[in-house]
Amino acid sequence: MDEPMVDAPGQQVKVTFTTTETDLQLPETKRQLLVPADIRRYGLSRILNSESMLDTGSIPFDFLINGSFLRTSLQDYLVANGLSLETNLTLQYVRSLIPPVYEASF
Amino acid sequence: ATHLTENGEQEKPLRDYSEALEMWSNFQAKTQSLSQSLSSQLRLILTPTQSTKLSGAFRTGKRLNIKKIIPYIASSYKRDKIWMRRAVPSKRSYQILLCVDDSSSMADNESHASASSSSSSSGRLALESLVMVSRALASLEAGQVGVLGFGTDVFVAHSLTDPPFASSSHDAGARVLQRFTFRQDGTDMVRLLRATIDHFRDARLTQAATSSGQDLWQLALILSDGLVQSRDHARLRPLLREAMEQRVMVVFIVMDDAKGKGKGHSVLELKEARFGPDGVPVIHRYLDTFPFPYYLIVHHLEDLPGALAALLRTWFAEVNS
Ligand SMILES: [Mg+2]
């Protein structure tokens, strides 16, 4: 088989996860990850909660980049800050204080 | 300094000449013994060895060609070219393109911590490797060496027909290092492979016009952090097949700087997340879809000569078998 994955992915960006929550630390080998560039908070939460990551079920997470909460897609964040897909974004995850809002897309 | 090319295009800013000159001399001094080690290993590979294969049909020779015996008898011993001889190995020459990733992922761009210490990055490791390998090749004096840079586009930093990098003058080397600033905001590997194959096709024609009877060996060494958009992996496969058909060997050298990065930051550990049709995230190892059949992961510069020589030896054994 030439291509093991069926769906051709869209653009990706490399992120590094960090947290100060002592009970929610990722092992060092899982902290860097390529994610779809159009991902938002909800999609990132799903990834962190997944079995191969924290395996925590459905904790809603918020993400901080350089001290401010991510409220757009990563792609939009990069564009707004004049950054390219070559950038390695550090995402600090925290338990969300806002009750989980159903977002139209993730 | 902003330069205008002949076509009037605006060119990217260059690294300061005196800084580049100092870098080249420092890297050359630092990597001298590694360079010598690589060149002596490559000399063994490039030197034509006595061919062990017996072939052909001659009146005298070393061993009988069994297939010719029946026709020999049937022709009443007239068709008497029944002997095989040892083939004379042809002289080998090479054309090597060193393709250096100039994209900004090669610099320290961890988020936007702007104070980048260029002392520890894939970019620095790539430039040290470039100096080490090009010096090793120059001392072999058996072929041509060129340097390409790539990011969102591809540029020629040193043409195959330019004079080789001398040990005494660092000017040519410094001019190459000036071109690499690691500020391109994309890594277009598809464009690089296309340019490499085309470049080698032209170079082969030029070479064929000037010399004959030589076994021309064309090799592209890609020095990069290995970060390519995964969706390009599938688009690279047909190009890699085309390179193979053209007898161009492509070796991907992944610059995975161990000093600059903490544990768990190696490309070997890198994973990627995709969402299935059901919206469930699936996590794979990034290198699982990496399309290059020949790749090396270099954590320390000292690993490179041995690893590269071993890979090239294996490849030679494969193509000559
Ligand atoms: Mg890159």
pLDDT for B44 equals 86
Q: At what angle do helices B122-140 and B17-30 cross, to 10 degrees?
A: 70
Q: Amino acid identity, residue B274?
A: R
Burial of A5 (0-12, 13-18, 19+ CB in 10 A): middle
Q: How far is the CA of B203 from the centre of ligand 1 (A)?
A: 27
pLDDT for B5 equals 52
Contact status of B8 with chain A (Cβ, < 8 Å): no
Among B110, B112, B264, the residue with its CB nearest the CB of A83 is B112
pLDDT for B2 equals 46
**Contact of B112 with A66, CB cutoff 8 Å:** yes
What's phi and psi for B2, nearest 5 deg?
-100, 130
Query: In chain B, which ranges are E strands?
Result: 54-58, 63-64, 83-86, 91-101, 143-150, 154-158, 214-224, 248-255, 271-275, 281-285, 295-298
Angle at B98 between CA B92 and CA B104, to 5 degrees: 170
pLDDT for B182 equals 95
pLDDT tens track for A78-105: 999 999 999 999 999 999 976 555 555 4
Q: What is the mean pLDDT of chain B?
A: 86
**Global pTM value:** 0.84
pLDDT for B217 equals 84
Written as six digits, the tokens of A23 are 């009970």
pLDDT for A103 equals 55
pLDDT for B290 equals 95
pLDDT tens track for B261-306: 666 678 999 999 999 888 899 999 999 999 999 999 999 999 999 9
Contacts of B227 in chain A (CB under 8 A): 14, 86
Our CA-based measurement puts residue B190 at a distance from the nearest CA of chain A, in whole angstroms, of 15
Written as six digits, the tokens of B63 are 């061993």
For residue A14, give every residue at least 6 positions away whose Cβ sits within 8 Å of its Cβ, in sequence order, or none. Answer: A32, A33, A34, A87, A88, A89, B105, B227, B270
Question: B106: closest CA among B120, B95, B85?
Answer: B120
Q: How far is the CA of B54 from the centre of ligand 1 (A)?
A: 49
Question: Cβ contact (<8 Å) for B283 and A32?
Answer: no
Side-chain-side CA neighbours of B42 within 13 Å: the count stands at 27
If DSSP codes are grouped into helix, strand and coil, which group holds residue B179?
Answer: coil
Which residue stretches of chain B have pLDDT < 70?
Answer: 1-11, 48-53, 88-91, 108-120, 209-214, 259-264, 320-321
C-alpha span between A46 and B137 (Å, rounded)? 50
Our CA-based measurement puts residue A59 at a distance from the nearest CA of chain B, in whole angstroms, of 15
pLDDT tens track for A9-59: 789 999 999 999 999 999 999 999 999 999 999 999 999 999 999 999 999
Contact status of B114 with chain A (Cβ, < 8 Å): no
Q: How many CB pairs under 8 A join A and B?
A: 112
Q: Amino acid identity, residue B279?
A: G
Our CA-based measurement puts residue A60 at a distance from the nearest CA of chain B, in whole angstroms, of 15
Evaluate if residue A75 carries a pLDDT over 50: yes
